[in-house]
Amino acid sequence: MKTQNQTSIRVYKATGFIGEYQKLIRNTVIPYQYSVLCDNAPDTEKSHVVQNFINAAKAVRGEDVGDGFYGMVFQDSDAAKWIEAAAYSLSLMPDKELESTVDGLIDIIAEAQDNDGYLNTYFTIKDKDKRWKNLLEGHELYCSGHMMEAACAYFEATGKRKLLDVMEKNTEHIYKHFIAEKNEGFPGHPEVELALMKMYHTTKNEKCLELARHFVNIRGCDTEFYKKESLKRDWTVWGNNPEDTDYQQSSAPVRAQNVATGHAVRAVYLYTGMADLASQTNDKELFDACRRLWESITRRRMYITGGIGSTVIGEAFSVDFDLPNDTAYAETCASIGLIFFASRMLENEIDGEYADVMERAFYNTVLAGMQLDGKRFFYVNPLESIPGISGCTATHWHTLTQRPKWYTCACCPPNVARLISSFGKYAYSENSDTAFCHLYASGEVKFENGIAFSCETQYPYDFTVTYKILCGGKIAVRIPAWSKEYKLTLNGESVDESPENGYVTVSAENGDVIVLILDDAPRFVYASPKIPELTGCVAVERGPLVYCFEGADNDGDVLSLSIPRNADLNVGEFNEEIGAVTITVNALRTTHCDGLYTYETPDAAQYTARAVPYYTWGNRGENQMRVWMTRG
């Protein structure tokens, strides 16, 4: 069973938990991030993004801008992701002033495009002669890809074509370089593949599809491409090793790849493009590769939080079952990319497994990436944080105990903003006669196939989801794997069909009411003994939320807590400060010993331990945090 691509959801208005997050993005994150792009945010690292475009425009006009570029080689993408987020937000909540701000930024960006369609401030300002000579590190296709996504989103939100025209012209430039002129190469940081697919969905321009297919198919065919490329130039951006083909997802043609390797964000962006292409072109061989890579990630290389890329060294996948809690990288962007991948897999085949992972990554790693007030962000999302060690040592420098404001490499904050603002694209999909409900969120949705309904729920803290059908049709409702029990009714009558691939399909007419009641019991989770880090450990979940234990709720010390085998989990009070339902468990508190080791069996006293949702951690000052607790 296949569904259409994401652009098909034309109307989506969220309220409730997701709606509040979308308002936070709109009212706090988007204005703050814009001020960063313009270097107007106080106490924040310089961004220079807008100024880079202004300077590039001057360079295009032949003016001398000297050392007019500042930032990372991919600095442009911050602007692109911000526009994309603003576009989605505008489609939810139209606003003249924000739209005018975006229009102004688009004008500046358009000016920075070279006459031949090339668009990249780094190379335009620094050295035009270096264009397309360092695909390994130059991020030109990456930046183009993000601007394509922004162009599609803004066109969809406003109907305005200016940025879309810019990016069609840019696509022509890329097409000319790589297809017409047959220049070799594929992007060091995949992204353009999925973006070209979006361009194709939006514009139906066949060159976009052809280019996407080209970049997917050529990748890894010449495993020495980056090596040869590097020998042709006397400069690098970061000194990346051009021979590390695993790191570059180019050790084999993508259709022959079996294992998710290398830089995690790059990997899942690539797989997203592959899956979209496979779905669009009914490419079974390509889908099979996607499926193998999906299984490599989700069955052997993924944290319980949906975090991926467990090692800081290269922000990369490690080997199977190497999932350390305390030194985890688990970049926010990587989980966002995993959600992209999952959503494109759902376009290939409806299977609740994809939505389960999407939900896990969203409610845990992605939401944890942002402070509850929307003002600070984590790149890195460890599953254990111990002040004094985390953020302090040579092996834990990256696992900060508190979210910082903005990074020089600011990929995660705007990525969170664009994902939350486009939640509806992931929550729903459709085919000609069916609406698929992958995620649960209050709001209204109208599908292109004509089906429309409102959804009411206090999810993820209440587990009753009520669909009021406004325009009838087949409604496929996901039953999450975590819900041991559930109840589904149509107008009060039980729907007894078993789920097929994780979904129960209900034929509903106008005015019908579908009610799904999911399991609200907190539950323990155990890990495979193949994961060395997690032997003898237990975690707590409720609904889609992974819980964690913080010092703030446990007398400052979670390390000495353990959870006995017969422990009960109970839903605790609502914590106003973090806006979350807590869970209590009758744990044991082990007494401390002098020094490091003892021959005395440690005493353990009864202790009611309190857990909070993982996404809320680190919002109450620096303190200990653990997802996986000791059993015993």
| Coil/strand/helix, residue 573 | strand
Q: For residue 181, what are the CA distances in angstroms to 109, 172, 173, 185? A: 26, 12, 10, 12
Active site positions, annotated: 315, 411
CB closer to a copy of itself, 336 vs 546: 546
Site residues (CB under 8 A) for a copy of itself, limited to 384-403: 384, 386, 388-389, 392-396
Angle at 597 between CA 593 and CA 599, to 5 degrees: 85
Contact status: 536 vs a copy of itself (CB under 8 A): yes
Site residues (CB under 8 A) for a copy of itself, limited to 316-375: 316, 318-324, 326-327
Rounded least distance, CB 573 to a copy of itself, Å: 25
Site residues (CB under 8 A) for a copy of itself, limited to 563-582: 565
Distance CA 321, CA 264 (A): 15
Count of positions on this chain that bind a copy of itself (CB under 8 A): 62
Distance CA 629, CA 356 (A): 23
Side chain identity at residue 114, one-letter code: D
Residues 6+ apart with CB under 8 A from 490: 506, 508, 512, 513, 514
Contact 315/330 with Cβ under 8 angstroms? Answer: no
Contact status: 631 vs a copy of itself (CB under 8 A): yes
CB closer to a copy of itself, 486 vs 524: 524
Contact status: 427 vs a copy of itself (CB under 8 A): no
* Binding piece for a copy of itself, criterion CB under 8 A, among 11-19, 134-142, 419-427, 554-562: 554-562
CB closer to a copy of itself, 4 vs 562: 562
CB closer to a copy of itself, 121 vs 305: 305
* Binding piece for a copy of itself, criterion CB under 8 A, among 149-157, 284-292, 382-390, 492-500: 382-390
Contact status: 507 vs a copy of itself (CB under 8 A): no
Site residues (CB under 8 A) for a copy of itself, limited to 594-623: 594-602
Q: For residue 532, what are the CA distances in angstroms to 46, 529, 537, 550? A: 41, 7, 10, 23
Q: For residue 332, what are the CA distances in angstroms to 111, 121, 500? A: 32, 26, 31
CB closer to a copy of itself, 187 vs 309: 309
Residues 6+ apart with CB under 8 A from 623: 387, 401, 550, 551, 552, 556
Q: Ramachandran region of residue 475, left (φ > 0), alpha (ψ -120 to 50) or beta?
A: beta
| Sheet hosting strand 473-478, strand order edge to edge | 428-430, 434-437, 473-478, 503-508
Which element (helix H / strand E) includes 57?
helix 49-60
Contact status: 304 vs a copy of itself (CB under 8 A): yes
Rounded least distance, CB 568 to a copy of itself, Å: 13
* Binding piece for a copy of itself, criterion CB under 8 A, among 101-109, 337-345, 572-580, 590-598: 590-598
Number of other residues whose CB lies within 10 A of the CB of residue 591: 11
Alpha carbons within 13 angstroms on the beta-carbon side of residue 60 total: 21
Rounded least distance, CB 6 to a copy of itself, Å: 27
CB closer to a copy of itself, 179 vs 319: 319
Rounded least distance, CB 389 to a copy of itself, Å: 5
| Coil/strand/helix, residue 6 | helix
Contact status: 560 vs a copy of itself (CB under 8 A): yes
Rounded least distance, CB 323 to a copy of itself, Å: 8
Q: For residue 424, what are the CA distances in angstroms to 343, 387, 438, 459, 479? A: 11, 38, 10, 15, 18
Where do we find the tokens 């990929």?
411
Contact status: 167 vs a copy of itself (CB under 8 A): no
Contact status: 562 vs a copy of itself (CB under 8 A): yes
Q: Ramachandran region of residue 344, left (φ > 0), alpha (ψ -120 to 50) or beta?
A: alpha
Site residues (CB under 8 A) for a copy of itself, limited to 284-303: 298-300, 302
Give me 178's structure tokens: 């790589």
Where do we find the tokens 């060091």?
188
Give me 502's structure tokens: 């994780």
Q: Kind of pairing, strands 473-478 and 434-437? A: parallel
Rounded least distance, CB 219 to a copy of itself, Å: 23
CB closer to a copy of itself, 242 vs 413: 242
CB closer to a copy of itself, 314 vs 443: 314
Rounded least distance, CB 321 to a copy of itself, Å: 7
Rounded least distance, CB 484 to a copy of itself, Å: 7
Distance CA 588, CA 584 (A): 12
Rounded least distance, CB 479 to a copy of itself, Å: 14
Side chain identity at residue 604, one-letter code: A
CB closer to a copy of itself, 102 vs 386: 386
Contact status: 251 vs a copy of itself (CB under 8 A): no
Each residue 453-482 as x (binds a copy of itself by CB under 8 A) or -, in order, gives -----------------------------x
Rounded least distance, CB 237 to a copy of itself, Å: 20
CB closer to a copy of itself, 67 vs 597: 597
Task: Please report, as ranges, the residues that interact with a copy of itself according to CB under 8 A.
Answer: 298-300, 302, 304, 311, 313-314, 316, 318-324, 326-327, 384, 386, 388-389, 392-396, 482, 484, 523-532, 535-537, 557, 559-560, 562, 565, 590, 592-602, 630-632
